Structure 1
Amino acid sequence: MPQAFRNTLLSLRDLIVSAGPLAFLGAGLLALAYWWLNPNPPKTVVLATGPAQSAYEEFGRRYRAALAVEGIEVVLLPSEGSSHNLELLRQGQADLAFVQGGTAQLQPRDAEQLVSLGSLFVEPVWLFYRADAAPKPDPGSRAGMPAPKQAPAVLDGIPQLRGLRVNVGTEGSGVPTLMARLLEANRVNPAEVAISRLEQTPATVEFLAGRLDALVFASAPESLMVQMLLQTPGVQLMDFAQHEAYARRFPFLTPVTLPRGVVDLAADVPAQDVRLVASTTSLLAREGTHPALLTLFAQHAQPLHSAPGWFNRAREFPSTRLSEIPIAKEGERAINEPVPLLQRYLPFWIANLVERMWLVLGILLAVMLPLSRIVPPLYQFRVRSRVFRWYGRLRDIEIELESGSVQPGELLKALDTLESQAEKVSVPLSYADELYALRNHIHLVRKKVLRA
């Protein structure tokens, strides 16, 4: 092996040994910070949706497709609806879920255990009824006035449900709770209404077969069931004439209007504006859900829910208003702030890693930079120790010479041995002067021995 190459390897070895403890300390602190911060999200997340053919199920599929691009598998967990979703979150069976405002009784601990990623869309209360089952208007006339023509049977108020067979959905959907509030506000005794709690699909079958008079459910207009019933002959949608009053009485309700012809312009469906009440649906998450997952869901909510719809204009949703649960900082940032700079040019997992680790990296640099000052002196000590260790033996020879305890011939042999060992020492060129100084000192001591 060439001597120059050997010297380079030795110098590199000394540098590694000198800086090794500091590098090991830095790597250990970095690994500890990575374990503590856990910057990368899990690859699987559970999203509670809703019944089959519901808007929740449809939006769940869209989120699953959007996050699959980021390498995240979204497992869709079917449920009975909003109230059931809230229970799944409380029990830890779901990480995120769609929850409709006003359809479930919130508990005091929910504000501590759950966070919201903002309101995503409005869900009107759809009350469909069969036209032949609606109560007929009173055909009587005032005194001295001719009897009016028979008006079509219509429903425009909750009190008119008395005596009808009405399905309000399962308890897990949250609609029974909402309807109970509306019946109470209208002073309608639940015993005056034949209430059933079938699931949405079997209830629709019973309704179309004439064994139910009305259906009540809350859903976004993207629901296939809503689309079908709006265009079914003989099925009418109840007009909430007092929808503004409902919004004043119940803070979780919003007055909305289904515009004339919005379902089918050519067929003019509906034939007139229909007044409705709606509640906002939010995407809730458990407090322990990974922040990166919250960021991903909140960011993908922008393209999924910002388009104009039947009841909202473009970019009205997602929104941080009308939230019964505190908004997560990830949702607040994604809704109200532009996309972070790094995420515009880097894959999400890299940008997320840098964003979550940059503060720790800054702290590590602040700690490691002062410590790194010990590396040059330590390196210098290691290199010079190869030379200085032989000075101890040279001094012993000189002491033995002065004391006369050893014959000069033995001392010359010891000097020859010392010189041969010194010739094998390799040091970087910047420290070669100390090696040559050792050889000169060996030569000076040899002269003293020869004079003796």
Structure 2
Amino acid sequence: MKYTFLKVSIPVLLLIITMFVITSEFIQPAPEKKLTIATGSKSGNYYKMAQEYKTLLEQNKIEVTLINTEGSVENIQLLKDKKADIAFVQNGILTSEEKNIEFLANIYYEPLWIFYKNDNYTIEYLIQLISKKISIGSQGSGTKDLATKILNDNGITNENSTILTLGTKESKQMLLDGKIDAMFMVTSHDSIAVKELLENPNINVLSIKRAKAYGQKYGFMEALTLHEGTLDLYKNIPDENINLLSTSANLLARPDVPAELIRIFLKQVKQVHQKESLFSTENQFPNLLNTNLKINKEAKQYFTKGDTWLESIFPYWIASNIDRLKLLLIPLLTLLFPLFKGVFPLYQWSMRSKIFRWYKILNSIDKQINTATFEELEKFNEEIKELNVEIQEETKVPLSYMGEYYDLMVHLELIQNKIKTKSNQIQINY
């Protein structure tokens, strides 16, 4: 019986293994667990966020390399040159689709801060900056790109003003030293530079009176209000409501970054940014809103449908590998269905064969009883006892076959009695 079972099952198992090997040739290999992220300067918020991503990703066995840059414009170029997989980019820098760049998510608001010297007058309109010395951010930064657009629309150029391209640190110091009149800075509200300048009585922040107008003109921007005392109630910072114009921080990626890496990256992004913040409600970020760029397929799937059924049960990489191997399940199920269909009859046959074998022994003994000698009857009796031990102690019969089992035991006892009766007759005759 065992030989028959192996004779049937081994070829089927070999066929299943062969189908797995053949099908696996058509499946993409698991991606290399490495990501390169273009951030910004080490003093900026992009770098701070990237460090958080890096910590979480490395817990998931992904090697992360961070590239420090001058900002959004340089980050975009790194994506195009395939020197970075993912990059932080200020919304609005790219205004149309790029073949080699895809949109992953908006992750938080990035207000535009315009600080100027406190010369005992208040600036309410950007046009009042004409003839001033203005720092608009370093070359390659998103701040420079946005500031240039806004200043040009207000008629402020190098012909009527002095426009400098300086980094945040240098701009801040020159503003404090009175060497420039104003500086533009696009960054989060919790930036150290923002807090220091808001606390300084010699520096004012421009409350943009026409913030909503700018928001309508530039579709990628929104008007926000920083209310009095929001940043520090004790020090009352700021000391009045401030109308701000805000863009948002975007994450962009190359289209050839493996879907598994994109998905697990977005899981960490969501973990970092889904919490409530000063300008956003819980789960407002990350999102796919307010972009003209092509949205990454995996990002759209993840933010629309969330975790897959497999991800809710298994750790990510196990779920991912199962998902990748789902193509192998088609030939496997095709082969297993007839195999399982044949297992039950085979099992039935194997159970019955045991009972039939015992009946065969009993039948053979029964046919010889009438002509057997006393010695042969004693031998038959010993065989019956051994058979009884084998049936009761050494063989486990499933409950579904107990009917046949008890019939066998009755017949076994019947043969024992028949042997005993025959033995008694022979003894009497002697």
TM-score range with shorter-chain normalisation?
Answer: 0.7 to 0.9
List per-residue Cα deviations over 1:271-327 (Å, max 9, x = no partner): 111001111221111000011111112222222112222222222111111022122
CA distance in 1, matches of 2:17, 2:199: 70
1:76 aligns with 2:63: no
**3-state SS, counterpart of residue 140 of structure 2:** helix
> With structure 2 as the length reference, what TM-score do the two structures score?
0.73
Give SS of 1:342's match.
coil
Q: Is the counterpart of residue 32 in structure 1 residue 25 in structure 2?
A: yes
Q: Which residue of structure 2 aligns with residue 286 of structure 1?
A: 254
Secondary structure of the equivalent of 1:94? Answer: coil
Cα gap change, 1:286 to 1:299, in 2 (>3 Å):
same
User: Residues 288-307 of structure 1 correspond to what in structure 2 (within 5 A)?
Assistant: 288-307=256-275
Change (3 A) 1:105 1:328: closer
Structure 2 counterparts to residues 372-451 of structure 1, below 5 A = none
Paired residue type of 2:19: G
| Length, aligned pairs only | 342
Matches of 1:337 and 1:354, distance apart in 2 = 19
Amino acid at match of 1:37: Q
Shift of 1:354: 1.5
The alpha carbon displacement at 1:15 in A equals 5.9
CA distance in 2, matches of 1:114, 1:270: 39
Match of 2:83 in 1: 93
Partner of 1:187: 155
The equivalent residue for 1:118 is 105
- Equivalent AA in structure 2 for residue 96 of structure 1: I
Specify whether residues 341 and 19 from structure 1 end up closer, same or farther in structure 2 by C-alpha distance, changes over 3 A only: closer
Aligned partners of 2:199 and 2:22: how far apart in 1?
64
Q: CA deviation at 1:368?
A: 4.5
> Distance in 1 between the 2:250 and 2:331 partners?
39
**1:180-329 paired onto structure 2 within 5 Å:** 180-329=148-297
Contact kept, 8 Å, 2:89 with 2:142, in 1: the verdict is no
Once residues 14 and 368 of structure 1 are traced to their aligned partners in structure 2, the CA distance between those partners, rounded to angstroms, is 13
Moved more, 19-28 or 319-328: 19-28
- Distance in 1 between the 2:109 and 2:170 partners? 25
Whole-angstrom distance in 1 between the partners of 2:5 and 2:243: 84
Counterpart residue number, 2:124: 156
Give the secondary-structure state (helix, strand or coil) at the position aligned to 1:169: coil
Checking the alignment, whether the CA contact within 8 Å between 1:54 and 1:225 is kept in structure 2 is: no
Question: How far apart, CA to CA, are the structure 1 residues paired with 2:294 and 2:94?
Answer: 16
Contact kept in structure 2, 1:130 and 1:234, CA below 8 Å: yes
CA contact (8 A) 1:53 1:225 kept: no
Given residue 26 of structure 1, which amino acid in structure 2 is its aligned partner?
A: M
Which stretch of structure 1 is more off in the superposition, 214-223 or 256-265? 214-223
How far residue 11 of structure 1 moved from its aligned partner, in angstroms, is 8.1
> For structure 2, which runs of at least 5 residues remain unmatched after alignment?
344-430
CA–CA separation in structure 1 for the residues paired with 2:62 and 2:331: 31
**Equivalent of 1:361, from 328, 340, 344?**
328
Which residue in 2 is equivalent to 1:48? Answer: 38
User: Tell me, which stretches of 5 or more residues in structure 1 are unaligned?
Assistant: 133-151, 377-452
Report the Cα distance in structure 2 between the residues aligned to 1:361 and 1:15, rounded to whole angstroms. 20
Deviation at 1:265, TM superposition (A): 0.8
The one-letter code of the counterpart of 1:128 is F
1:336-370 CA distance string (max 9 Å, x none):
33422322331110011122332x02333366469
Asked whether the 8 Å contact 2:20–2:328 carries over to 1, the reply is: no
Distance 1:183 1:206 in 2: 20
Question: Which of 57, 60, 65 is the equivalent residue of 1:67?
Answer: 57
What secondary structure sits across from 1:116 in the alignment?
strand
* CA distance in 2 between partners of 1:335 and 1:235 (Å): 41
1:234: Cα distance to partner? 1.3
Where 1:37 maps in the other structure, the secondary structure is coil
Which residue matches 2:353?
A: none
Q: CA deviation at 1:371?
A: 9.9
Deviation string 1:142-184 (CA, Å, 9 cap, x unpaired) is xxxxxxxxxx411221111112111111221022222222122
Match of 2:21, as an amino acid?
A: G
Aligned CA distance change for structure 1 residues 94 and 62 (closer, same or farther; 3 Å): same
> Conserved in 2, the CA contact under 8 Å of 1:79 and 1:85?
yes
Are 2:16 and 2:332, in contact at CA under 8 Å, matched by a contact in 1?
no
Question: Do the aligned partners of residues 28 and 356 (structure 1) sit closer, same or farther apart at CA in structure 2, a change above 3 Å counting?
Answer: closer
State the superposition RMSD in angstroms: 2.6
1:45 and 1:51, CA in 2 relative to 1: closer, same or farther beyond 3 A?
Answer: same
For residues 31-66 of structure 1, the C-alpha deviation after alignment (integer angstroms, 9 at most, x for no partner) is 314xx333x442220011111211101100110111
Distance 1:336 1:265, change over 3 A: farther
Task: Determine the C-alpha separation between the residues in 2 that align with 1:105 and 1:30.
Answer: 42
Native 8 Å contact 1:302 1:335 kept in 2:
no
8 A contact 1:53–1:223 mirrored in 2: no
Q: What residue identity is the alignment partner of 2:170?
A: P
Q: Which amino acid aligns with 1:362?
A: L
Residue of structure 2 equivalent to 1:341: 309
Q: Structure 1: which amino acid aligns with 2:285? A: F
Measured in 2, the distance between the counterparts of 1:271 and 1:299 equals 38
CA distance in 1, matches of 2:333, 2:310: 23
The equivalent of 2:318 in structure 1 is 350
Give the match's secondary structure for 1:344.
coil
Change in CA separation of 1:226 and 1:356 when aligned onto 2, cut-off 3 Å: farther
Identity of aligned residues (%): 26
Superposed CA offset, 1:60-115 (max 9, x none): 0110111111111221111111111111111101100111112x24565x1x3222
2:138 maps to which of 170, 175, 179: 170
Runs of 4+ in 1 over 3 A off after TM superposition: 10-16, 18-21, 105-108, 366-373
